[in-house]
């Protein structure tokens, strides 16, 4: 499912226009991205949580050349599914 299909699904569930659904979805996603990029966690009960995670520096290997290289420490976004989400997918 892509963003357009998600907007269509929202329109079917809620009595709003496609444009309104797109604006709301875009705003919600921007808030999540902005919050996580600032280092905070976003939790939606039953759905899951988005948070930044720090990856340590490590050694890697270039698969084409076989040479060892250093990979810098970095911060990445992470998602953890909530209990209800996990239960629904597991069925």
pLDDT at 30: 98
List of domains in the chain: 3-90 (4.10.520.10)
Alpha-carbon span 18 to 79, nearest angstrom: 27
Distance CA 65, CA 87 (A): 44
Q: 42 and 49 in contact (C-beta within 8 Å)?
A: yes
Would the pTM of this model clear 0.85, i.e. be above it?
no
Beta-strand (E) ranges in the chain? 42-44, 48-55, 58-61, 68-71, 74-81
State residue 91's pLDDT score.
Answer: 86
pLDDT along the chain (91 residues), means of 10: 96 95 97 97 96 96 94 96 94 86
pLDDT value at residue 81: 96
Token couple for 81: 């599914």
State how far the Cα of 89 lies from the Cα of 75, in Å rounded to an integer: 28
């Amino acid at each position: 499912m892509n963003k357009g299909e998600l907007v269509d699904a929202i329109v079917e569930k809620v009595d709003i226009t496609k444009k309104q659904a797109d604006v709301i979805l875009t705003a919600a996603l921007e808030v999540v991205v902005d919050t996580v990029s600032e280092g905070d966690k976003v939790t939606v009960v039953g759905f899951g949580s988005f948070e930044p995670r720090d990856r340590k520096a490590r050694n890697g290997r270039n698969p084409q050349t076989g040479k060892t290289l250093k990979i810098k420490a970095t911060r990445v976004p992470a998602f953890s599914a909530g209990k209800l989400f996990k239960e629904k997918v597991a069925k």
